[in-house]
Amino acid sequence: MDNVTEFFNILLDSEKLIAYGGLTLLLLIIFAETGLFFGFIFPGDALLITAGLLCSSDKFDVNIFLLLSSVSVSAIMGNITGYATGKYFGKKLFVKDDSLFFKKKHLETTRNYFQKYGGTALIIGRFFPVVRTFAPIMAGATEINFMKFNIYNILGAVIWVWSLIPMGFLLGRQFPALINQVEYLFLIITGIVSTSLIIGYIKQRKKMETENKQQVNNSIIN
């Protein structure tokens, strides 16, 4: 039981993930979070900022440009995998029962987000947990043109990776003491991201309720 608990603690701790697995594990996690339906459990934003922060020190001995380019490729390939999953299994996912690593509500949330923003959701959604995992799956399920999908996919990956990793890198260079306070930085990032996600969810919920009321009123009038 202790080993299982330690395993999940590592999965949810950006610094431990990088310390245990280095660049290889980082790339695998980013690929999973952006392409596999269970990837939403990983802390992608915090992981990128932490990687940049550690890269500014001797705790993560990887060239910053190698880090940026390799993570970008991993994020792009993850989305392509998600698109393929959505294209071939999309309809089955909507009727799939909830499990430990799959929640239908996450798919529904992403579908509403995708319907509102279209292909741009692939770019904006990179900065939102859950949405960034299911957006490419939704793109495949709705059979958006693959070439069009990849334009948004590449743009989203580059903007996401090349903003968060350099942010962490610059913070590490300007404030070296942050290297020893990664857990607090992680909590702050998680809090900001979670708050943004909750606000977005509440707004979307209110919009859906308003639209449902309008449909009911229209049906009564007709």
Q: What whole-number percentage of the chain has pLDDT above 90?
A: 18
Question: Which distant-in-sequence residues (6+ apart) come within 8 Å of 13 by Cβ?
Answer: 183, 186
Q: What's the rounded Cα separation, in Å, for the pair 207 and 40? A: 24
The answer to whether residue 5 scores a pLDDT higher than 50 is: no
Tokens of 24: 């290889």
pLDDT at residue 162 in the model: 95
Domain boundaries, the chain: 2-221
Q: Check: CB of residue 123 under 8 Å from CB of residue 155.
A: yes
The answer to whether residue 8 scores a pLDDT higher than 50 is: no
Q: How confident is the model at residue 128 (pLDDT cuts 50, 70, 90)?
A: confident
Beta bridge partners of 102: 99
Give the pLDDT mean for 13-28. Answer: 75
The answer to whether residue 24 scores a pLDDT higher than 80 is: yes
The answer to whether residue 98 scores a pLDDT higher than 50 is: yes
Question: Which distant-in-sequence residues (6+ apart) come within 8 Å of 138 by Cβ?
Answer: 86, 90, 107, 110, 111, 114, 121
* Window from 14-23, 63-72, 87-96, 97-106 with minimum mean pLDDT: 97-106
